Amino acid sequence: MRSTAASGGSLVGQFLSVLADLRDQIGGPYYLGDVNGRLDWPDRGVYFFFSPASDLRATTAVDWRLSRIGTVGISTGSSNTLWART
């Protein structure tokens, strides 16, 4: 993924750039070990899990290793939460 993202114009590079912008807008990533289900989380949405080797606070998006993308509560009437899935 590094060589693809490094090209900048690739779809992967664009996606990682959007994630880096989001990181900057929300003040950094949330690490699963640092948070809990009692925080004010959205009822539904998309989540991204990165490899533990990815330091999302200190490195550029080109070095990140995305390991899972998922959705939570996107169906009408769904009561699923991220915390019930982890």
Q: What is the pLDDT of residues 24-33, one digit of tens each?
A: 898 878 887 8
**What domain range includes position 14?**
2-85
Alpha-carbon Rg for the chain, nearest whole angstrom, is: 14
φ/ψ (deg, to 5) at 72: -135, 130
Report pLDDT for 1: 39
Q: Could you report the per-residue pLDDT of 50-66, keeping only the tens digit for each?
A: 888 888 876 678 788 88
Residue 86: pLDDT band with limits 50, 70, 90: low
Report pLDDT for 2: 42
Our count of domains for the chain comes to 1
